[in-house]
Chain A
Amino acid sequence: MSTSDLVVPQGSEFQFTDESGRSIVGAVAETAHAVNPWVAVAYLAAGVLFILALRGLSSPATSRAGNRYGMIGMLIAVVTTLVTHFPGELFYGDTIVTSGESFQHFGPDWASFGEILAAIAIGAIIGLTTARRIAMTAMPQLVAAFHSLVGLAAVLVAVAAFLNPDAFGILGVSGDILPVSRIEMTLGAAIGAITFSGSVIAFAKLNGNMSGAPILLPARHWINLGTLAAILILTVMFTHSPVGGPGENPLFWVVVALAFAIGFLLIIPIGGADMPVVVSMLNSYSGWAAAAMGFTLHNTAMIITGALVGSSGAILSYIMCRAMNRSFISVIAGGFGADASSSSSGGGEQRPYKSGSAEDAAYMLEQAEKVIIIPGYGMAVAQAQHALREMADLLKEKGVEVKYAIHPVAGRMPGHMNVLLAEANVPYDEVFELEDINSEFAQADVAFIIGANDVVNPAAKTDKGSPIYGMPVFDVDKAKQVFFIKRSMGGVGYAGVDNDVFYMDQTMMLLADAKKMVEDINKALDA
């Protein structure tokens, strides 16, 4: 007799011998989801602690306490699960099944407590080592990698639930998985799979294993829409067809396979600088996947967390899209910046610009009263943040007021520049958001642009035909002087548009590697 043949009325105990001759005793709960009230309270507490963890991030001062709340919440959730599932006795709803002599809870088909601890320990070592070693500039790819793990874990849990629905308490009276649970677990698996494959591609693009340029398949919109429609239709069909034994209905596997494929297809046409939106979106998906599995398990901690993370990622995606004046649909449709090279070469004749040396820049910076620094992704690539902070220190010693201005989409993930500046010991009260500092450029003597481009492009304000038209940008043209650190005059910004700031009378181009240039300026300032 196999486990799949076993149909036991609710509220009764059972005993049978499986294929390998092992005798198994168990009981079926009166109601599938009756939970010990203390267990429910513990999961609720974990959920509340997670809310506090996010609440703490409203200011850097409270954020560290918030992070600790998050850790406590996770500890409570894990310990509660371990206590309820490894007590030497099993809780099945309100019926406690004492492990009889014939019940081999620690047999080869069940993970032992030791094996669980070993699995956690392996994860802990990998996680802690990575967290300690990772460079702050590599944070976007790390977050993408972490998202992929959540996605994959969600798929594994959904598959486990499909293979062993009884353990998850999702069997109906008929011995088949409840229809609502089927929807939940299929959606959980599908969203998890999209999160996984999408994040793997995002990681490869951010980490440079794959070109950041969009890869455009012909008819990709139709392929994507068709795949999404197929996932939804098959999910509905799965809900209406008998599951049969554990893992026997192929529809579930087809949905998971299609979801892996769509995650891949959705992200490959999206270009590198749109990654802040993609990473936020995948963050959101990982939350929805956790929430869907929370529905399957009727677990409040997972549902609350899933909802928090899901809304968090959605809000971040919205903020990023707003900061680029693009619709979410246009970002997801992808292809932006694909023709960068063609449009720049179409520009034709070379316009005159002024370039200067580090000494020229140092001299003028010393004379300034107020300097506003605008860092961009180029600063992260050149790892110039430490040199930049030294420059700011030297200038402050000379009585110059220095502020930093950060555009919401600067870098490859939301808040990327803030972290890099914090790493370089820049006090966070010297760092300002776009809307808070933009009016100050009129009083600034120098706008110091390092590794940014599109976020200072006045075409966003004036040129209706420009791809970045309508995007909020820094009013650097109002500053008396503009210093623009750029590797060469050849490249254009991500959006593939020329930047009038290069050719303004008050602009001095500092053409060099960002870190090298800032170090040279520091030498000149120190002299």
Chain B
Amino acid sequence: MDFISILSIFVLACFVGYYVVWSVTPALHTPLMAVTNAISSVIIVGALIAAAAAGTPAAKWLGLLGVTLASVNIFGGFAVTARMLAMYKKKEKAAPKAGGEA
């Protein structure tokens, strides 16, 4: 791909990001940060390439360290997002203690 194609994808993705993020409900802004954190760890792709194609031991360990750091984020980020999202509940018909008269 030439630079202009890549730049086009980037610019269009910025616009997509702009509209998608404005549509996120403010109540979910913390999960939004956690999930953006998880997906930005797609940088693991670069770390994998670095580890796979390293030419020196130093470069290999840099790559492997990058893979580990990014995986912490991927697993941690998605798991903590899932944990938070599981807590968001609608009003229940029969709340555990409340009589339900709301």
Interface residues of A (CB under 8 A from B): 3, 33, 35, 43, 46-47, 50-51, 53-55, 57-61, 63-64, 66-67, 70-71, 73-74, 77-78, 81-82, 85-86, 90, 108-111, 115-116, 119-124, 126-128, 130-132, 134, 136, 139, 142-143, 146-147, 149-150, 152-154, 156-157, 159-161, 163-164, 166-168, 180, 246, 279-280, 283, 286-287, 289-291, 293-313, 315-316, 319, 390, 393, 396-397, 399, 401, 406, 408, 413-416, 418-419, 422-423, 425, 427-431, 433
Contact = CB atoms under 8 A, between A and B. Distances in A.
B40 A290 contact: yes
SS class of chain B's interface: helix, strand, loop or mixed? helix
A267 B70 CA distance: 23
Nearest to B66: A156
Interface string B40-77: 11111111111111111111101111111111111111
A312 B32 CA distance: 8
B31 A419 contact: yes
Interface residues of B, number: 90
Contacts of A121: 71
Contacts of B77: 127, 131, 146
A54 B52 contact: no
Nearest to B60: A111
B22 to A, nearest CB: 6
Contact of B82 (A67, A122, A166, A396): A67
Contact of A295 (B10, B56, B75): B10
A304 B13 contact: yes
A397 B13 contact: no
Interface of B: 1, 3, 6, 9-11, 13-14, 16-18, 20-60, 62-92, 95-99, 101-102
Contacts of A81: 44-45, 48-49
A63 B27 CA distance: 11
Contacts of B88: 60, 63, 422, 428
Nearest to B38: A70
Contact of B69 (A143, A156, A280, A319): A156
Given A163-B58, A302-B46, A414-B32, 6 more contacts: A61-B90, A127-B75, A142-B76, A143-B37, A167-B50, A297-B49
A298 to B, nearest CB: 5
Nearest to B58: A163
Contacts of B102: 396, 401, 430
B78 A311 contact: no
B98 to A, nearest CB: 4
Contact of B57 (A58, A59, A109, A134): A109
Contact of B72 (A74, A123, A134, A160): A123
Nearest to B34: A143
A70 B33 contact: no
B71 A127 contact: yes
B42 to A, nearest CB: 5
B33 A280 contact: yes
Nearest to B7: A295
Nearest to A311: B17
A70 B39 contact: yes
A283 B58 CA distance: 29
Nearest to B14: A307
Select the residue from B34, B36, B101 with max chain A CB neighbours within 10 A: B36
Given A109-B60, A393-B95, A160 B31 contact: no
A60 B22 contact: no
Contacts of A110: 51-54, 60
